[in-house]
Amino acid sequence: MISGALDPLFADKWHDIRCVDLACNQGFFSMELARKGCREVLGIEARQETVNEANLMRDCLGLMNATYVQGDVMAMDGSEYEAFDIVLMLGLIYHLENPVGALRIAKAMTKGVLLVESQVGPEIEGKIDWGTCEMQQPVHGAFTIIDETEQFANPLGSVTGIALCPSPQAIVWILKALGFARVEILPLPDNAYEQFVAGKRVMIAAYTA
C-alpha cells in the first residue's frame, strides 16, 4: 500500500526525496524507502532501546541514508526539522491521548504527502445538540477511549497509558481541517491484511497540493 501510494509520485526522483518516519519502531517501513534510494530518511522513536535496534539493522543492511534517533513526537512542534517530502505516521495515533495534536505536528513537517495508518474505532454520524436543542452541530467522526496502562512494557504500545482510537472519518476530517489539499483512504491490495479487509484499520494519504 505504501509503495502503491508513493511510487507514482516519486519513482523517478527518489534521490532527491527526504522522508521522516514518526514513531518508527525498528524502522522497517522507512528502511524500505531507504532501499528505494531516498536521499535522506530519518526515523524518530520514543524508546531508546528500539532506536538502538533500528540503527543496528540499518548498519547490517548498509543503509547509510537512514538515521534513527530517540524522540517523543508529542514533545515536538514540527519546527525542529526542515519539512519533508514524505512523512510516515504508521501505527501511532491510536496509541496517543492527543492524536489531533500529533496530526497537527505531522502537518507542520509535511511538504509533500503524509501517510497515516491506524487502527480505527466505530463510526458515529448525525448531529448533536450544542448548548440547546435549537442549535445542533454535525458529527464528523468519533474517538474510542482505550486503556493501555498495563501495556507499558509493550514497545508498540502507549507511553502514557491513555489512548484515543479514531474512526476513519475522524482522521479524514481532521486532516482536511488542518489544511491538507486532498485526503484519501487508500484502496486495498488483493492480499491486504485481515484487519484492513474487515475495516478495523485504514491507511490514509494526505497531500499538501
Report the distance separating Cα 171 and Cα 140, nearest Å. 9
Report the distance separating Cα 182 and Cα 100, nearest Å. 18
Say which residue, 200 or 154, is predicted with more confidence: 200
Average pLDDT over residues 58-87: 96
What SS3 class is residue 25? coil
Q: What is the pLDDT of residues 10-41, one digit of tens each?
A: 989 999 999 999 999 999 999 999 999 999 99
Q: Determine what percent of the chain is predicted with pLDDT higher than 70.
A: 96
For residue 156, the model assigns a pLDDT of: 62
Main-chain dihedrals φ then ψ at residue 52, nearest 5 degrees: -60, -40
For residue 161, the model assigns a pLDDT of: 84
User: Over 80: is that where the pLDDT of 73 sits?
Assistant: yes
Average pLDDT over residues 171-184: 98
User: Over 90: is that where the pLDDT of 198 sits?
Assistant: yes
- Cα 61 to the center of its chain, rounded Å: 24
Residues linked to residue 69 through DSSP beta bridges, in sequence order: 44
Q: Give the DSSP H or E segment for 175.
A: helix 168-177
C-alpha cell at 38: 531516498
Q: What is the pLDDT of residues 112-134, one digit of tens each?
A: 999 999 999 999 999 999 999 99
- Cα 65 to the center of its chain, rounded Å: 21
The residue type of 105 is: I
Indicate if the alpha-carbon torsion angle 93, 96, 157, 195 is positive or negative.
Answer: negative
Q: What is the pLDDT of residues 179-195, one digit of tens each?
A: 999 999 999 999 999 99
User: Over 80: is that where the pLDDT of 151 sits?
Assistant: no
User: Over 90: is that where the pLDDT of 5 sits?
Assistant: yes
For residue 77, what are the domain limits? 2-207
Taking a C-beta distance cutoff of 8 angstroms, is the pair 1, 70 a contact?
Answer: no
Domain total of the chain? 1
C-alpha cell at 143: 474517538
- Please, how many CA atoms are within 13 Å of residue 187, restricted to the half-sphere of its CB? 3
Instruction: Tell me how many degrees the CA angle 151-156-160 measures, rounded to the nearest 5.
Output: 50
The pLDDT-based confidence of 154 (bands split at 50, 70, 90) is: low
Q: What is the pLDDT of residues 89-111, one digit of tens each?
A: 999 999 999 999 999 999 999 99
What does pLDDT average to over the chain?
Answer: 95
User: Over 70: is that where the pLDDT of 152 sits?
Assistant: no
Residue 75, C-beta contacts closer than 8 angstroms, at least 6 positions apart: none
Residue that is written with C-alpha cell 531507504 in the block: 34
C-alpha cell at 154: 509493550
CATH number at residue 190: 3.40.50.150
